[in-house]
Structure formats: C-alpha cells, structure tokens
Amino acid sequence: MARLAQTAGLTDVQSEILATVRQFVDKEVIPHAQELEHADAYPTDIVEGMKEMGLFGITVPEEYGGLGESLLTYALVVEEIARGWMSVSGVINTHFIVAHMISRHGTEAQKRHFLPRMATGEVRGSFSMSEPDLGSDVAAIKTRAKRTDDGYVIDGSKMWLTNGGSSNLIALLVKTDEGAEKPHQNLTTFLVEKPEGFGEVAPGLTIPGKIDKMGYKGVDTTEAVFDGYRIGADMVLGEAPGKGFAYMMDGVEVGRVNVAARACGIAIRAFELAVEYAQQRKTFGKAIAEHQAIAFKLAEMATKVEAAHLMMVNAARLKDSGARNDVEAGMAKLIASEYCAEVTQDAFRIHGGYGYSKEYEIERLMREAPFLLIGEGTSEIQKTIISRGLLREYKSRS
C-alpha cells in the first residue's frame, strides 16, 4: 500500500469500494489510456466497466437503485480514476453533479423518472452553465426560456458541455422572467432529455460537434444551440422557477470537490511516475534520486500531494455533514489544482528529454493538468469565494 494520500476513518465498505476501483484502474484504465487519449477515442469499454461496478449510481440513494454512498466515497473514487486517466473521471463527474442536484432538489416525480436509470448509467448527465461570451459572470446568462401555455421555449447558445454528445440529459441553467430585482433570482434550471449524438438531436436542439482540446481527450466537450426548443414546465428542476442559480451552486460545490479529487489523482500519478523514473535513471554513476536536487524535489512533490488530498477530504466530509463548505471547497479546489500543475511539471522535469516524448505518460499529464486550473471556476474565482467567505466570518465589529 502506498504511503501517500491515505484517508483515515473509512468504513470497511468504503475501503472495499476503493480497492476494487484501484484494481480496475490498474488493469483496465492505465494500460489503455495512452492509446485512447492519443486517438481522442471515447473509452467505451472502460465506461461499460464502470457501469457494471455501479459507479454511475454511487451517490444515488438506495431507494432509487443507487449505492447511497457519501460525497467522500465518490471523491476518493474519482481520485483513483483520475490517477488512471482524467478523462474517465470526466465521464462521471457531470453525471454525478446532475444526479446530486436531482436527489437534493428534484420533485418526487423527477427523482423516480431519472435517478433509477442514472444509477445504472442508462441515463447519463451533463451540466450546462457557461456560454460563449459568459466567462465566470453566471448572472449575465443570455440563453432565455420564455413561458408558453404548455411550457417553455428556449433560445440561446451554451458552451463547454462535458459529455455534451454522449449524455442524454442536460441540467441547463437559463434566464426566465421571474420579475426579481436580483439577476440570479431570474435563473432557472431545466432537465433537458435528448438523444445521444451530434447534429440536430431534437427539434430546436443542436450539438454541433466535439471541441478540439489540448488535453482532456476522449471525453466529448461540446456546444449546445437552442433554437425554439420546447420543454414542459414539469422539467423545471424542483418545479421551482427562479431557484436555478442556487441549485446550480449546490452542484458546483460538489463539483469543486470533484475537481480537487481529480487534481489529486493526477498529482499522485505524476509523483508515482517521477519517483519510479528517478530510481531507474542514472547519471554520474548513481540513480538521479540519490542526487540531493532530485531527492528534495520528490520530497516537495509528495508534501504537496498529501496537503491537497487532506484538504479535499476535509471539504468532502464537511459537505457530507450538511455544513456549508463553499470556502473549504474553494480552498481544496484552489490548492489541489495549483499543486497538481506544479507536481506534474516537476515530474516532467525529472524525466528530462523523455518527458517530451509521447511514449511517456507524463507528456499526457502535462496536457491534462492545466484544465483543472480552469474547470469549475478559475483560481481567481476560488480566491474571490474564499475571501468573501472569510470576510463574512471575520466581519469587523469596529
């Protein structure tokens, strides 16, 4: 058992789940990740394996056919999967966020309609807030849903949908006319069912195609264009117009824990590759791990891995307890993504010229790690969230 990134206080069930997932990653993910990633090929067989293990329903309540496990269990599973290949964790990340939002905020009819099929992976979710010109200003969303006699009509363009083509359910945040003074209270989340695939997948809904990315290959990232798309009022999440922003932010909080977990997974793998290579590669008559410059670098890398893992675990446990964790999730996401980039670059440097070769796994990690600096909010957004939370808690009494 590796020393780093161990989690105290796990149940026997949690330990068994993680051991099973690690074995799956070592046998079914890592040996195939390079070939699939370089081909930008969807990991169909790996996804089928995750379905069989019940990972798509890991947090879905047992009464709806899931495993009913905690956010901590899920985050530790994601850490293991991302250690193998980050794109595979991306397949279940947005799905998990949507399942969480339906479990927490959906009507009973919505829960019974979606959750049992989400638990098996028959229904797979994607998550859509961003727009082509939006950036981090979610309240400035332009995509609009107008009320009609029998539901809503949606018009506008959304951007950066992970699993946009391979999913058949989108949690979609759009603007509605609720008459509220605050912009975020005029935002509503819809549950949009659609066929898988690209092109005009439904009347008024087009998924143009995959966005070509530097890394994060295999998983499809897309746009979604709505042009007169009709949807029933019963597909408003919780049948609560105007509460979509709050529901999405709840989803983003668990998403930030997830991104932190993915960053930990990549950092763990980068360290594993570096520490193995450093003991095999010899210069000046001895392994480079015996040179103090490399030994100290390994020590710093391991410390960063451990710190990021502990903060991620803390944020997950807080959310599981029912406590507010916006600051802690922001801190975990911030430090884990930044440390991941640093640890991966250090591993790349330890590999020397070989790190630049596509034959070596570290080259892939170098292209994947930067995504985590952006996903679920940039580092600057995390600092904004953290500072606001701290100022709220430490408000001056003078």
Whole-number Cα distances in Å, 70 to 75, 76, 96, 255, 346: 9, 10, 12, 14, 33
Residue environment code for 64-73, b if the CB has 16+ CB neighbours within 10 A, otherwise e? bbbbbbbbbb
**What is the amino acid identity at position 339?**
Y
Beta strands in the chain (DSSP E): 125-128, 144-148, 151-162, 169-175, 187-193, 199-202, 205-207, 221-231, 282-283, 286-287
Q: Which of 108, 338, 376, 393 is catalytic?
A: 376
Among 316, 330, 369, 275, residue whose Cα is nearest residue 86: 369
In the residue annotation, 376 being an active-site residue is answered as: yes
**In DSSP terms, which residues pair with 141 in a beta bridge?**
none
- Rounded to whole angstroms, the Cα distance separating 80 from 36 reads 18
Give the count of beta carbons closer than 10 Å to the beta carbon of residue 284. Answer: 7
- Rounded to whole angstroms, the Cα distance separating 322 from 318 reads 7
**Are the C-beta atoms of residues 301 and 379 closer than 8 Å to each other?**
no
Q: Token pair 């090929």 is at which residue?
A: 41
**Are the C-beta atoms of residues 158 and 131 closer than 8 Å to each other?**
yes
The phi, psi pair for 46, rounded to 5°, reads: -65, -45
Query: CA quadruple 147, 153, 155, 157: dihedral positive or negative?
Result: positive
Q: Which residues contact 209 (CB under 8 A, 6 or more apart)?
A: 165, 198, 222
Q: Token pair 């597909």 is at which residue?
A: 235
Residues catalogued as catalytic: 376
